[in-house]
Amino acid sequence: MSTDTLDTRDEIYVGGVWTRGSGALIESVNPANSEVFATLHGATTADVDAAVAAGLKAVEESGWAKKLPHERAAVLHRISSAIEANADRIAELQTLDTGKTLAETKALAMSAAATFRFTASALETMEDALTSPRGNYLSMSTYEAIGVVGAITPWNSPIASDAQKVAPALAAGNAVLVKPPVWAPWVSLLLARICEEAGLPAGLLSVLPGPGRVVGDAIARHPDIGKISFTGGTSTGRQLGHIAAEKIMPITLELGGKSPTIIFADADLDQAVAGVLYGIFSSSGQSCIAGSRVFIQRSVYDAVVERLVKGAEALRIGPGTDPSTQVGPLVAHAHRDAVARMVEDARLAGAQILCGGAAPEELRLQAGAFYEPTIIGGVSNSDVICQEEIFGPVAVILPFDDEADLILQANDSVFGLACGIWTADYRLAWRTARAVSAGTVWVNTYKQFSISTPFSGLKESGLGTEKGRDGIRSYMHQKSIYIDLSGASIPWAGN
Ligand code: NAD
């Protein structure tokens, strides 16, 4: 793939203006071969101030919030079509920046287009309510834009995370500042170019790459930012939650996970093994919803472990640009090394590495941030390796005896993001789905997503909901209005 055709100009997007940033220099490295493919000067806190001011002005001058829903929806439909038309370009750029396979980044680009399309359609179906009056007046509940909001996103699926925040924030009538991750800023900038070409009024969108502790923090603390929508790690989410509490500002947090995926003895084992391998090793495990704790009923434990190990060893590791690759590199060497350290610590603590547990030996993969699909046994659910998010291609496997034992173990986690259940018994599936602490449960499938279905995390996996028809509402204030119909004075005043 040639980088000449890809959009990697050293420019950030501040309040509708493309400009070279004067913040920290970001070196973008292709994790498949360690080559620096672009450099980018990031934003400063002054850029945050300028972007907020431009956002406020743009909302006012373009009349964005006051436009009728179908008028805003028309712009979002055009953005959706433009994303679709540029899907290959987006996919190539994201593969270069994150290492993900082209098949996955193309799917993420198409899902971003679908998010804009769905949000545009949903916007036209939104309704305010006439509420029941208790007197001679009209009472209603209406929704209004917040003003300027901040969207802070992680590196694992940048185009999809951006779309999930930018589409509803704009649909609701706001301006939005996006703070993309340092490890993957480029597709957010490309999205801004696409939005600009699709006719989004200038100033409504800013894209401000840079270190989270500087740029992200400044966005969250800015007095004119009325909401933060954050996707990322739980510790960062907690810090942002403190800022939101100080400002009394709404915040949506989509955070980490350590999701259980459960194989009952009666499951279709072909289906279960394929689903579990996909659930943990696709995206090289760099997925908030990765099914990273695999619980297997004891009577089928040995047979299933053997099949999982065989399946993991057969996965094809390679660069994301190779169409036969199933497991691409991790996003960066620093991250690969952090994953390797966690596995090594578990090994030293007595865990058994059943497969993987190292960088691949193949010569062609030596320069990249690759790590073998790894399965770890001989652990107990309370071990560090079973409790902490690894965010890499590493599964721990744990036996369970019966339903009660399973639920105890599955829920013994600070996280509550997702869960997979593999069984032929629909009553058992239903009971387990209801008993497990998770925002999303899949039965006999995994990692399937519909933009019309709400997404949220329980416990330390998050706060608030994204997606779904009501996703737009989370970027709005609710306002109640009473209008007198009697023409009479309130008797208390005495006239
Ligand atoms: P991260 O928390 O390190 O960073 C996320 C974003 O926050 C980045 O843009 C970063 O620059 C910014 N940031 C960092 N410190 C900040 C601060 N003090 N103030 C403001 N902004 C700050 O997460 P990551 O490593 O980029 O992403 C991986 C994490 O994201 C994993 O924990 C994963 O589970 C989670 N994630 C969750 C979901 C979900 O929907 N629940 C989806 C994808 C990823």
Q: What DSSP string runs through 288-301?
A: TT---EEEEEGGGH
Q: What is the pLDDT of residue 158?
A: 94
Q: pLDDT for 208-259, tens place per residue?
A: 999 999 999 999 999 999 999 999 999 999 999 999 999 999 999 999 999 9
Q: Is the dihedral of CA 54, 60, 64, 65 positive or negative?
A: positive
Return residue ranges of the chain for CATH 3.40.309.10. Answer: 260-443
Name which of 333, 373, 382 is nearest 353 in CA terms: 373
- Whether 260 lines ligand 1, by a CB cut-off of 6 Å, is no
Tokens of 460: 């330390």
Q: What is the mean pLDDT of residues 330-342?
A: 98
- Whether 285 lines ligand 1, by a CB cut-off of 6 Å, is no
Q: Residues near 493 by Cβ (< 8 Å), separated by ≥ 6?
A: none
- Whether 466 lines ligand 1, by a CB cut-off of 6 Å, is no
Percent above pLDDT 90 for the chain: 97
Nearest CA to ligand 1 atom 11: 212
Q: pLDDT for 260-295, tens place per residue?
A: 999 999 999 999 999 999 999 999 999 999 999 999
Nearest atom in ligand 1 to 220's CA: 20
In this prediction, residue 1 has a pLDDT band, given cuts at 50, 70 and 90, of: very low
Cβ–Cβ under 8 Å, residues 284 and 325:
no
Return residue ranges of the chain for CATH 3.40.605.10. Answer: 12-255+461-480
The superfamily in CATH containing domain 260-443 is Aldehyde Dehydrogenase; Chain A, domain 2 (3.40.309.10)
| DSSP assigned state of 212 | I
- Angle, in degrees to the nearest 10, between helices 102-123 and 69-85: 170
What's the CA-to-centroid distance between 236 and ligand 1, angstroms?
Answer: 6
CA dist 198 and 80 (Å) reads 9
pLDDT at 468 over 90: yes
- Whether 158 lines ligand 1, by a CB cut-off of 6 Å, is no
Q: What is the pLDDT of residue 7?
A: 85
Q: What is the pLDDT of residue 402?
A: 97
Nearest CA to ligand 1 atom 12: 212
Nearest atom in ligand 1 to 335's CA: 25
- Whether 92 lines ligand 1, by a CB cut-off of 6 Å, is no
In this prediction, residue 495 has a pLDDT band, given cuts at 50, 70 and 90, of: low
Mean pLDDT of the chain: 97
Nearest atom in ligand 1 to 288's CA: 34
In this prediction, residue 6 has a pLDDT band, given cuts at 50, 70 and 90, of: confident
- Whether 256 lines ligand 1, by a CB cut-off of 6 Å, is yes
Q: pLDDT for 428-463, tens place per residue?
A: 999 999 999 999 999 999 999 999 999 999 999 999
What's the CA-to-centroid distance between 230 and ligand 1, angstroms?
Answer: 7
pLDDT at 297 over 60: yes
CA dist 373 and 350 (Å) reads 19
- Whether 153 lines ligand 1, by a CB cut-off of 6 Å, is yes
- H/E stretch holding 352 reads strand 352-355
Q: What is the pLDDT of residue 3?
A: 43
What's the CA-to-centroid distance between 161 and ligand 1, angstroms?
Answer: 11
What's the CA-to-centroid distance between 153 and ligand 1, angstroms?
Answer: 6
Nearest atom in ligand 1 to 389's CA: 32
CA dist 385 and 376 (Å) reads 9
Active-site residue flag, 84? no
Name which of 368, 362, 366 is nearest 29 in CA terms: 368
Buried b (16+ CB within 10 A) or exposed e, 69-91: beebbebbbbbbebbbebbebbb
pLDDT at 493 over 90: no
User: Tokens 């502790």 belong to which residue?
Assistant: 213
What's the CA-to-centroid distance between 368 and ligand 1, angstroms?
Answer: 23
Q: What is the pLDDT of residue 2?
A: 42
Q: pLDDT for 15-65, tens place per residue?
A: 999 999 999 999 999 999 999 999 999 999 999 999 999 999 999 999 999
- Whether 288 lines ligand 1, by a CB cut-off of 6 Å, is yes
What's the CA-to-centroid distance between 180 and ligand 1, angstroms?
Answer: 10
Name which of 370, 357, 361, 385 is nearest 329 in CA terms: 370
- Whether 244 lines ligand 1, by a CB cut-off of 6 Å, is no
Q: pLDDT for 358-406, tens place per residue?
A: 999 999 999 999 999 999 999 999 999 999 999 999 999 999 999 999 9
What's the CA-to-centroid distance between 195 and ligand 1, angstroms?
Answer: 24
Name which of 336, 343, 332, 395 is nearest 371 in CA terms: 336
The domain 12-255+461-480 is placed in CATH, from the list 3.30.1010.10, 3.40.50.970, 3.40.605.10, 1.10.357.10, at 3.40.605.10
Buried b (16+ CB within 10 A) or exposed e, 328-339: bbbbbbebbeeb
Give how far Cα 418 sits from Cα of 164, 281, 295, 351, Å: 18, 16, 14, 25
pLDDT at 488 over 90: yes
- The terminus-to-terminus CA distance of the chain in angstroms comes to 81
Nearest atom in ligand 1 to 183's CA: 26
CA dist 63 and 211 (Å) reads 32
Q: Which of 178, 234, 236, 251 to mutate to test the pocket of ligand 1 (most atoms within 8 A of CB)?
A: 236
User: Tokens 């829920």 belong to which residue?
Assistant: 411
What's the CA-to-centroid distance between 152 and ligand 1, angstroms?
Answer: 8
- Whether 206 lines ligand 1, by a CB cut-off of 6 Å, is no
E-assigned strand segments in 42-168: 129-131, 137-145, 148-152
Cβ–Cβ under 8 Å, residues 379 and 395:
no
Q: What is the pLDDT of residue 375?
A: 99
Nearest atom in ligand 1 to 211's CA: 11
Nearest atom in ligand 1 to 181's CA: 9
Q: What is the mean pLDDT of residues 302-329?
A: 98
pLDDT at 5 over 70: no
In this prediction, residue 109 has a pLDDT band, given cuts at 50, 70 and 90, of: very high
The catalytically annotated residue of 11, 104, 254, 389 is: 254
Name which of 335, 336, 353 is nearest 344 in CA terms: 353
Cβ–Cβ under 8 Å, residues 388 and 285:
no
